Structure formats: C-alpha cells, structure tokens
Chain A
Amino acid sequence: GAGVSQSPSNKVTEKGKDVELRCDPISGHTALYWYRQSLGQGLEFLIYFQGNSAPDKSGLPSDRFSAERTGGSVSTLTIQRTQQEDSAVYLCASSTWTSARETQYFGPGTRLLVL
C-alpha cells in the first residue's frame, strides 16, 4: 500500500479483555516501531523490530503486552487483561534509511478505550 495502515482504527473493550492491534508497514521497510500516546501526551516508545526480531522488550509497559512480527511485514501488538490505564492511541511506524538518515512513517493509529 501507499502508507502504513493500522487496524482497527478504534477499539472499545471491557476491562480484563484481550485486544490485538495490527500494523501493516510500508512494503520493503525492515524496521517497525510501536508507540503509545496518551491524551495530550508525547509518544512513548514500546518496541522496535528489525526484520522479525525485537531484541529489546524493556519498553513494553508490563508483561500483559506482547508484540510479534512475521515475514518481516505485518506486526501485531497484543494486550492481555486490559486495564483502564491502557487507554491510549497506539501508533505504528515503519522506517527507511537513505544516506544514513532514517525517516519514520506513521500509521493513523488505533484508539483504544478500556471501560
């Protein structure tokens, strides 16, 4: 596709339920990022994939959060037993490097509301 896409665009769930967020990066982009942005706040780095590998998971807020990427393309962020504090916009970005300069392209985000 022309850009990074994310689904669903909006998700309302009940506390305690599991949710799965999907990111389709730009074709050919090997790097993929997940961020979280709470209302009126900056972006919080969650995890970075280079290919299918994410060597550092320390940015994930808790062990209820997990992420995977298969085939060097689509990535899913899973939140188990959701809590109200998980409510935020979850943004995915893929990136390309040109002349030692990285450009990240963001998807539109998934707005998650945990009731």
Chain B
Amino acid sequence: GQSLEQPSEVTAVEGAIVQINCTYQTSGFYGLSWYQQHDGGAPTFLSYNALDGLEETGRFSSFLSRSDSYGYLLLQELQMKDSASYFCAVRDQTGGYQKVTFGTGTKLQVIP
C-alpha cells in the first residue's frame, strides 16, 4: 500500500525560510503534490512534481527525488498568513487504477 510521512508541526519566524519534508512508499509512482489548508477551509493546490528536481512558484518551491522517495516544500519570506496545514499527496497508478494518498499534514505556525 501507500504511506507518507511528514512532520506533524513546524514553527518558524516571519520572514524566514522553512522546509517541510515528505517521504513516501508507493508502487507505480506518478507524482507528488502539495496542498495548503487553512483552518476551516478547503485545501488549495500549491505544486506538483512528476520529475526529479525543483519547481518554483513565487515564494513556494517544491523538490522531488524519486530515487529517494522524498520531496519537500520550501516556503520563503514567510508571512503570518502562511500559518496553515500543509499536505503532501502521492498519485500512483497500479493495475490501471489511479489513486491519490495524502499525508497527515504538517501544521505550520509562523510567529512574529
């Protein structure tokens, strides 16, 4: 089956950089996504990596190493509004079936 691990909580200072790691175990790996979810809100898409390397979108970057079954989300110039839960999610395909498995989420607290 699929499993993902990410830290449960991270605290960082406003203006700093924070990295949220995600390791996964799956067969038929297709891609790794990251989502942000504020309390009481729906998840919003941040990034998707299917190939090794770094993808940059504004203050957010995401990295994938398929050989290490590892990825991370990098948030730069942290703002108070970045306080939220961040989920990594693996998309895989086995036997013609596609499935998306989410990690349990990392709660990021940005402090002044």
Contact = CB atoms under 8 A, between A and B. Distances in A.
Given A100-B50, A102-B33, A102-B91, A91 B42 contact: yes
B42 to A, nearest CB: 4
A107 interface: yes
Say what secondary structure dominates the interface of chain B.
strand
A55 interface: yes
B63 interface: no
B71 interface: no
Contacts, number: 52
B43 interface: yes
A102 B102 contact: no
Interface residues of A, number: 25
B102 A43 contact: yes
Given A101-B48, A101-B50, A103-B48, A43 B99 contact: no
Interface string A14-48: 00000000000000000001010000011111001
B48 A102 contact: yes
A109 to B, nearest CB: 6
Contact of A42 (B31, B33, B45, B103): B103
Contact of A43 (B44, B48, B87, B97): B87
Contact of B97 (A35, A56, A100, A104): A56
A72 interface: no
Contacts of A108: 42
